[in-house]
Every structure is written in C-alpha cells, then in structure tokens.
Amino acid sequence: MKKIILCIITLTIISDFSYASFPVSSKKEIIGSENLNYGNITSASDTPIFGILSISLALLSLLFLGNYDNWILSLIFAIFAVIFGALGFNNKLRGVAITGFIIGLLELLYSIVMYSFIFLAMSATNNL
C-alpha cells in the first residue's frame, strides 16, 4: 500500500514539473483573423460522439447486468445507451449508434423483466 501511495505522489509531482519544462519567451506574436483557416471545421451534428457514447454505455451496462447490488447502474446505463443511440442515428458511425441502441434496448428489457420477477417473488414470500 505504501508503494502505491508513493507511486501516486511521485507521478503527481512529476506531472506538475513537466508543465514548466519548456522554454518561455517574452516575445508574443498576435495572429490576425485573416490568417486563420476555418475551412476544415465540421458541424457538431457530424461528430460520432452519440454513437460512441451509446456503445460505451451499453457495454458498461452489460458489466453491471448480472450484479444484484448495482442493478440501478445497469438500468441507468442502458437507458442512456438507448437515448444516445437514438440521437446518433443521423451522424457518422451510424452502425455504432445502432449497435449501442440495440444492445442497450435488449439490456433494458432484460433488466426490467428479470428484476420484476425478482421483486414479484420477494413480495410473494413477504421478504420485500
């Protein structure tokens, strides 16, 4: 445990010193707006962030799916995977968004069915 704490402290100190390890000059150059090129900027709707979020949250939901202690996390991740998958249908990497949507939807349905059976069984035996 001491070695882990020492390693974390060392990495923190080294990362703080690395910011000042480059030469700083006092001469500043101001670039005018006529020299900037705005031709390669894409709109926010073309980014595949919703598809990536959808599949990432679907996989996180899959990790918590069988764990009874963290079933709320599984439901939350599955719900957000479905939402982000639906938002990512019209963007780049549409297949990733559809995959995340389908996996999230299947996990959401599985979670709802299984945990409703568990709660019904617990309430039938009065252990709820």
Give domain status of residue 20, yes or no.
no
Which residues have C-beta within 8 Å of that of residue 7, sequence separation ≥ 6?
none
For 106, the domain range is 48-124
In a domain, residue 21? The reply is no
1 within domain boundaries: no
Residue 2 lies in a domain: no
* Cα angle, residue 19 at apex, residues 21 and 27 outer, rounded to 5°: 70
Q: What is the pTM of this model?
A: 0.60
CA-based torsion, 111, 113, 114, 115: positive or negative: positive
Of 6-10, 13-17, 32-36, 62-66, where does the model show the most confidence?
A: 62-66
Q: Is residue 11 part of a domain?
A: no
Range ranked top by mean pLDDT from 1-15, 24-38, 55-69: 55-69
Quote the pLDDT of residue 106: 93
* Percentage of residues in the chain having pLDDT higher than 90: 22
Which of 60, 75, 58 lies closest to 114, judged by CA?
Answer: 75
- Residue-wise pLDDT tens digits, 33-84: 555 565 555 555 567 889 999 999 999 988 888 777 777 888 899 999 999 9
Instruction: Give the count of domains, the chain.
Output: 1
Helix (H) or strand (E) holding 42: none
76 within some domain: yes
The answer to whether residue 93 sits within a structural domain is yes
Residue 63 tokens read as 């990790």
Residue 84 to residue 40: CA distance in whole angstroms: 26
